[in-house]
Amino acid sequence: MRHPILKFMVVAVGLSLAACASGPPPSSALPPVSFADQPPFVLDIARIEIVTNYAAPSAAPHIELTMPVNPENAIRRWVQDRLQPRGTAGTLRVIISDASATETTLPKDPNATVFNDEPQSKVDMSVAVALQLLDDRQFVVAEVTGKASSGQTLRSGLKLNEHDRLLYDMVIALVKSMDGEMSPRIRTAFHNQLMIQ
């Protein structure tokens, strides 16, 4: 004969699983950040180091610390995907001097008739990066710089996942814009170190 306590535990677990199944579905995750749609610059250097000279403020209107993917995260991924060291000597130093993102609340329009179409905030982002090729004595022998900025107005009534997706898309587009500016400069300034481009 089965023990009554065991029967109660089985029923309780079943009810618990049913409750979980009837709950709200998890929010869809953002896709992984990637810039691997372009072939990497394979460089005849031993290593890459990243130096960040930008410290994101924690106070409004700055939002870097609460974003799903902030500009600095995206730049670091860009370095990983687009710049590959394959040599035995030399260093490429990546200096991030700007990776800012702000969101400023806009004043409400008293004449607005549709609430969800009213502009609610303005998001501004900017990035600035320098690539310095160093020899074994840590002297800069070649340098490439690039920067990009963008701004977008967000409407009222956005859900949290919609808001996060817009910020994510802005960051990816921003870094791709920087990549488009820097790529021809890399081919020119680092042509002696390029193994594959």
Confidence at residue 17, expressed as pLDDT on a 0 to 100 scale:
34
pTM for the full predicted model = 0.81
Q: Is residue 3 part of a domain?
A: no
- The residue among 126, 134, 127 whose CA lies nearest residue 49 is 134
pLDDT higher than threshold 90 for residue 23: no
Cα 193–chain centre separation: 28
What value does the mean pLDDT take over residues 33-43?
Answer: 95
**Token pair for residue 38?**
């372009």
pLDDT higher than threshold 60 for residue 149: yes
**Token pair for residue 52?**
């960040």
Could you list the residue range(s) of the whole structural domain that residue 46 is in?
A: 37-107+114-196
Q: Is residue 160 part of a domain?
A: yes
Q: Is residue 7 part of a domain?
A: no
Q: Is residue 60 part of a domain?
A: yes
- Quick one: DSSP state of residue 87? S
pLDDT band at 83 (very low <50, low <70, confident <90, very high): very high
Q: Is residue 85 part of a domain?
A: yes
Q: Which amino acid is at 21?
A: A
What value does the mean pLDDT take over residues 49-59?
Answer: 97
Q: How many domains does the chain have?
A: 1
Per DSSP, the residues of 123-182 read EEEEEEEEEEEE-TT--EEEEEEEEEEEEEEEETT--HHHHHHHHHHHHHHHHHHHHHHH
Q: Is residue 31 part of a domain?
A: no
CATH number of the domain where residue 155 is located: 3.30.160
What value does the mean pLDDT take over residues 100-114?
Answer: 81
Per DSSP bridges, beta strands 83-85 and 91-105 are unpaired
The residue to which tokens 């990243």 are assigned:
50
Q: Is residue 67 part of a domain?
A: yes
Q: Which amino acid is at 78?
A: W
150 compared with 25, residue with greater pLDDT:
150
Q: List, for residues 172-196, the tens digit of each pLDDT value.
A: 999 999 999 999 999 999 999 999 7
pLDDT band at 56 (very low <50, low <70, confident <90, very high): very high
Q: Is residue 8 part of a domain?
A: no
